[in-house]
Amino acid sequence: MKIAIVHDWLVTDAGAEKVLRGLIDLYPNADIFSLVDFLDKTQRQTVLNDKYATTSF
């Protein structure tokens, strides 16, 4: 079964991103999608565990 996690936008490490990090911990092989991804390298390491989100733009 393939799992996808969809997030509206990734611009900072705040509350919604903490929930996203929890979902990535539960489903480490899930594909991640977002409208935009403006995370810098350190934010990407903490929020996405060094994964990349597929963006629509």
pTM of the model: 0.85
The predicted pLDDT at position 55 comes to 93
Q: What is the pLDDT of residues 8-36, one digit of tens each?
A: 999 988 999 999 999 999 999 999 999 99
The predicted pLDDT at position 32 comes to 95
Range of the domain at 39: 4-55
The predicted pLDDT at position 57 comes to 66
Domain total for the chain? 1
Q: Are 30 and 48 spatial neighbours (Cβ–Cβ below 8 Å)?
A: no
For residues 38-42, average pLDDT: 90
Task: State the pLDDT confidence band at 49, using cuts at 50, 70 and 90.
Answer: confident
